[in-house]
Chain A
Amino acid sequence: MTPKRKQKLFVILGLLSLTAIAVGLTLYALRANINLFFSPVQIAQGDAPMERQIRAGGMVKEGSVSRDPESLDVEFVVTDYVDDLEVYYSGILPDLFREGQGVVVVGELQADGRLYADKVLARHDENYMPPEVAQALEEAGYSPADFQAKAAEVGKRLEQEGSPEGSDY
């Protein structure tokens, strides 16, 4: 082999091994860090894995938010109007978190059937329902439009009653 070819060979080998390492690491990291989405229907059916980080979403059920008076612990129910999911969270809720509004929570399901959330994301959607939830409902054989109408009804009623911020003034 001429030195030039040798150099080329090294370049190619180096490239290949680096790519292999990168691909390996990437696949490993991807597998460990993918969060699948589940709606309350799917969780009630037992589709969701236990004690693994998942995302779940739906609407915050009317009147379900209860705060611990001493700490920042909060419990609420996420619903897709077919099934309910109890969520436990400790921390500050996002600005747009509201009863009757869409929400996505990230956390782990525990044996008691509750979801212990690390993160709560408010999801304001014009259709009053996160699109993933609408799709999950459809797959479970429901018509999402009915539930969106129901959600819109609840949302509008709560709006008319006044949000907690609005009532301060």
Chain B
Amino acid sequence: MLIKIIPEIGHFALVIALLMAVVQAVMPLAGAATRRPLWMAYGRPMAIGQFLFVTIAYLCLTASYMLDDFSVANVANNSNSLLPWYYKFSAVWGNHEGSVLLWSLMLAGWGFAASVFSGDLPRDMVARVQGIMGMVCVGFLLFILMTSNPFERLLPNMPQDGADLNPLLQDFGLVVHPPMLYMGYVGFSVVFAFAIAALLGGRLDAAWTRWARPWTNVAWAFLTVGIALGSWWAYYELGWGGWWFWDPVENASLLPWLTGTALVHSLAVTEKRGSFKSWTVLLAISTFSLSLMGTFLVRSGVLTSVHAFANDPTRGFFILMLLAITVTLSLLVFALRAPRVSHKVGFNWLSRDSLLLINNIILVIMTVTVLLGTVYPLILDSLGLGKISVGPPYFNALFVPLTVVMCVFMGLGPVARWKSMSGRELWRKLGLAAAAAIVLGVAMPLVYGGEWNLWVSLGIVSALWIVLPMVRDLFDKTRHASSFVAGLRKLSLSYWGMVLGHVGIAVTIVGVAVVSNYNIERNVRMSPGTTVEVAGYQFTMTELTNRRGPNFLADTSIIQVQRGDEGRSFVMRPEKRLYLATGMPMTQVALRPGLFRDLYVAMGEDLGDGSYAMRVQYKPFVRWLWLGGLLMAFGGILAVADKRYRRAAARQPASSRIDQSPSQEATV
């Protein structure tokens, strides 16, 4: 009996969570404004309770999927009794309603974490953070309950079986990509809440940054992994081997990543030097607003893409309002309160401060260019000025040069000193690295491809220019230690995090440069017996067969691959699947991954007469793209593990540290 009312329990739990969120949004903020500890104390139990109830709602929806309850509209539209259990589990977020529920679950989870791990923060600060998180939660829970209820029933005419999950989503990528991405998106809400709380309290000091930094890094790391996973998924799932399409939805995730990256760096300056305070706060606000905007673009149906599940205008309008309210209110608070927290600290032209400032400016310019290219068609369309699309050449033409400029400064940044540094010292440290980077970078395409290529050279010079100065710096830093290894051990985890993050970017840049220029693709007509040669590999189609999967039928080609004449041979099996419930065809790519090259075979269309159009590709260094992303994320997490954050929490109550001037802070 209880099983039958699971959706109602979930729905009810959502309503309770909403009520708790309302209390959380009102009481702690009111308490902080009127200095009433009892009111402020409402925040924590409400955050915990809200997380509990959203979790219950989420589990109820998952249960409906697992139990094939097709009386629930959401399940009927997106699942099928033949679907394997792990796809039923992930199908929960493979649709609009479920994904917003997942989003809310994570929001509640971050709010819960921020409440529980806020140990020694001043009580009013915690209360304000909880209040702001509560407001965001209210917005999203209202959104679910008013426009996108996942528990809506199809009674009494319930279908016999579900319409099935979109075949593109029946993949491991759906299991991992959206949760990671959402963790990142939503994680920035905590930093946002911290920023607004600091503005409201008029207190933006080193202790504040020390609290905000770990949250920012974790959110940023999740977002990085989420984007990398998305790119990897698109690469093998869409069947033509692209890994970044400058699709508006991808851009929507890149935008908060760019400002988030700027925020991570700006927070470093604020913590070490006490400057850039207003700027940091502004970045925190923009990052979260861009996350919301991404949600709006994806969920409103103004875009047509694989990510756009729903085309319900009321939903788009609701999120647009949510975005407008968030941006207006937070900018208003910023305008009214920011002058109170700003703090003048001088620095010289040649210093880490100014290099980080330049880094921030470039990142913001990148954000603006991507934003422009993404929303320009939407604006023109809404003004009735014609339907246009902005293609990848626009983004490449701007993004690539900006990245190169950024790399120039990325090489300098990590080795420069805070406040000021002489140009001669910088040159002494970096001259050799610069020469080595240029020589190696220019020579590499000649050695690898036999022919000089400007873009590959540019990519490799940039990557080396990021890495080599840091290597040199490692030697400098360990010079006074008893041994090299002992010196390395002394370096802080946050330093290693920085190194890894920058190496990650370098690895990604090498991947992008090489795979974009040395990618080999051949579209051919193949029938059993045909052989094609691509990049020294012989691809022979030996057989065309078919098989039956759990919920699909597939045409499979067996491809024998051999390198040269005597190399080891192996078999690749690309498939063309027809999913039974939806009648949708799907290309299943065969991959032979490797650190230095991928082989990629996809079946195109049946050409009749027993032959198939086939896409055979050789993709050198493509794995480096995502490897770099993982390194970056790992760097971000490593920096959070730095003992300085735990020491600050353990040593003394924060209230006594508030007025400490930045010059007394420990330096890396």
Residues of chain A whose beta carbon lies under 8 Å from any beta carbon of chain B: 4, 7, 10-11, 14-15, 18-19, 22, 25-26, 28-30, 32-37, 53, 55, 67, 69-72, 91-93, 95-97, 123, 132, 135, 163-166, 168-169
* Chain B residues closer than 8 Å to A55, beta-carbon distance: 389
Contact indicator B391/A33 (Cβ below 8 Å): yes
Known contacts: A30-B373, A91-B523, A168-B555. The answer to whether A69 contacts B609 by CB under 8 A is yes
Please state if A92 and B394 are interface contacts (CB–CB under 8 Å): no
B591: chain A residues within 8 A (beta carbon): none
Kindly list chain B residues whose C-beta atoms are within 8 Å of the C-beta of A34: 388-390, 394
Q: A30-B372, A95-B585, A165-B578 are in contact. Are A35 and B398 (CB under 8 A)?
A: no
Please give, as numbers and ranges, the residues of chain B lying within 8 Å of A11 by CB-CB distance.
357
Q: How far is the CA of A25 from the CA of B394 in the complex (A)?
A: 10
Can you list, as one digit per residue, whether each of B597-609 has a CB less than 8 Å from chain A (1) or not (0)?
0000000111111
Give CA–CA (A35, B390) in the complex, Å: 6
Question: Shortest distance in angstroms between B371's beta carbon and chain A's nearest beta carbon?
Answer: 10
CB B659 to nearest CB in A, in angstroms, measures 24
Q: Once the chains are docked, how many angstroms separate the CA of A10 from the CA of B97?
A: 50
A18-B361, A33-B394, A37-B387 known; A92+B523 contact, CB < 8 A: yes
Select from chain A the residue with minimum beta-carbon distance to B578: A165
B361 and A4 form a contact (CB under 8 A): no
Distance in angstroms between the alpha carbons of A33 and B398 in the assembled complex = 12
Inter-chain contacts of B376 with A (CB < 8 A): 30
Closest to A95 in B: B585
Contact partners of A53 in chain B: CB under 8 A: 391
| CB < 8 Å neighbour of B387 from A10, A33, A132, A168 | A132
- Please report which residues of chain B, range 373-415, place their CB below 8 angstroms from some CB of chain A when the two chains form the complex: 373, 376, 386-391, 393-394, 397-398, 401-402
Task: Find out whether the CB atom of B578 lies under 8 angstroms from the CB atom of A166.
Answer: yes
Residues of B within 8 Å of A123, CB to CB, are 304
How far is it, in angstroms, between the C-alpha of A93 and the C-alpha of B240 when the chains are bound? 11
B585 contacts A33, C-beta separation under 8 Å: no
- The A-B contact count (CB < 8 A) is 104
Q: Flag if A92 contacts B609 (CB, 8 Å).
A: no
| Bound Cα distance A83, B604 (Å) | 29
The answer to whether A29 touches B578, judged by C-beta atoms less than 8 angstroms apart, is no
Q: Which residue of B lies closest to A132 (CB)?
A: B387
Known: A33-B393, A35-B388, A36-B388. A25 touches B349 (CB 8 A): no
What is the CA–CA distance of A166 and B555 in the complex, to the nearest angstrom? Answer: 12
User: What residues of chain B lie closer than 8 Å to A166, measured between beta carbons?
Assistant: 578, 583
Q: Which of B349, B369, B586, B608 contacts A26 (CB 8 A)?
A: B369
Chain A residue contacts of B397, Cβ below 8 A: 25, 28-29, 32-33
B63 to chain A, nearest CB (A): 30
Interface assignment of B49: CB less than 8 Å from any CB of chain A:
no
Cα(A109)–Cα(B214), bound, Å = 55
Task: Decide if B365 is an interface residue (CB 8 Å cutoff).
Answer: yes
Task: Please indicate which of the listed interface residues A34, A53, A169 has the most CB atoms of chain B within 10 Å of its own CB.
Answer: A34
CB-nearest residue of chain A relative to B376? A30
Let me know if A29 and B388 touch, CB within 8 A: no
Residues of B within 8 A of A36 (CB): 386-388
Interface residues of B in 302-337 (CB under 8 A from A): 304
A131 CB → nearest B CB, Å: 8
Q: Is B557 an interface residue (CB 8 A)?
A: no
- Enumerate 17 A-B pairs (CB-CB under 8 Å) in ascending A order: A22-B398, A25-B397, A25-B398, A35-B388, A35-B389, A35-B391, A37-B389, A55-B389, A71-B525, A91-B613, A92-B615, A96-B584, A97-B605, A165-B578, A165-B606, A166-B578, A169-B553
B residues less than 8 Å from A7 (CB atoms): 346, 349
A29-B394, A93-B605, A96-B585 known, 8 other contacts, Cβ within 8 Å: A18-B361, A33-B394, A34-B390, A37-B387, A69-B609, A72-B525, A92-B615, A123-B304
Q: In angstroms, how far is the closest chain B Cβ from the Cβ of A52?
A: 13
Task: Name B585's contact: one of A15, A32, A165 (CB within 8 Å).
Answer: A165
Q: Is the CB of B398 within 8 A of A26?
A: yes
Q: How far is the CB of A88 from chain B (nearest CB, A)?
A: 15
CA distance A37 to B386 in the complex (A): 8
| B587 interface contact, C-beta 8 A | yes
- Tell me, in angstroms, the Cα distance from A25 to B368 when the chains sit together: 12
Question: B555 CB to closest chain A CB, in angstroms?
Answer: 7
With a cutoff of 8 Å between Cβ atoms, the chain A residues found around residue B585 in the complex are 95-96, 165
Separation of A7 and B196 alpha carbons in the complex (Å):
30
> B604 — which chain A residues lie within 8 A by C-beta?
72, 92-93
Report whether A22 and B583 are in contact in the complex, using a CB–CB cutoff of 8 Å. no
Nearest residue in B to A19 (C-beta to C-beta)? B365
Instruction: Answer yes or no: B487 CB below 8 A from chain A CBs.
Output: no
Contact of A32 with B373 at beta-carbon distance under 8 Å, contacts A19-B365, A26-B398, A72-B525 already known: no
Which 6 pairs across A and B sit closest by C-beta, in order of nearness? A92-B604, A33-B394, A37-B387, A29-B397, A95-B585, A33-B393
Residue of B nearest to A30 (CB): B394
Contacts of B586 in A (CB 8 A): 95
A66 → chain B, closest Cβ, in Å?
Answer: 12
A163/B524 contact (C-beta < 8 A), A25-B398, A26-B372, A93-B604 known: no
Chain B residues, Cβ within 8 Å of A92 = 240, 523, 604-605, 613, 615
CB contacts (< 8 Å) of A25 on chain B: these are 369, 397-398, 401
Residues of A contacting B373 in the complex (Cβ-Cβ under 8 angstroms): 26, 30
**A26 contacts across to B, CB distance below 8 A:** 369, 372-373, 398
Once the chains bind, are B390 and A95 in contact (CB under 8 Å)?
no
Tell me if B239 counts as interface (CB < 8 A to partner A). yes
Contact assessment for B388 and A37 in the assembled complex, using a CB-CB cutoff below 8 Å: yes
CB distance from A21 to the nearest CB of B (A): 9
> Per-residue 0/1 for B511-526: is the Cβ within 8 Å of any A Cβ (1 yes, 0 no)?
0000000000001110
Minimum C-beta distance from A130 to chain B (A): 9
Report the nearest B residue to A163, measured CB to CB.
B583
Give A73 Cβ to nearest chain B Cβ, in Å. Answer: 10
Look across to chain A and name the residue whose beta carbon is closest to the beta carbon of B311.
A126
Which residues of chain B come closer than 8 Å to A71, judged between CB atoms? Answer: 525
Q: How far is the CA of A30 from the CA of B375 in the complex (A)?
A: 12
Per the bound structure, the CA–CA distance linking A154 and B520 in Å amounts to 40
B34 to chain A, nearest CB (A): 40
A119 smallest CB distance to B (angstroms)? 10
CB <8 Å contact, B587 and A95: yes
The distance from the CB of A64 to the nearest CB of chain B, in whole angstroms, is 16
* Residues in B neighbouring A97, C-beta threshold 8 A: 605
A169 to B585 CA separation, bound complex (whole angstroms): 14
Complex CA distance for A100 and B578, rounded to whole angstroms: 19
CA distance A166 to B553 in the complex (A): 10
- Chain A nearest Cβ from B330, distance in angstroms: 23
Given A92-B615, A96-B585, A22 and B390 touching (CB < 8 A)?
no
Which of B239, B372, B389, B555 lies in contact with A95, CB distance below 8 A?
Answer: B239
Contact B523 A72 (CB under 8 A): yes
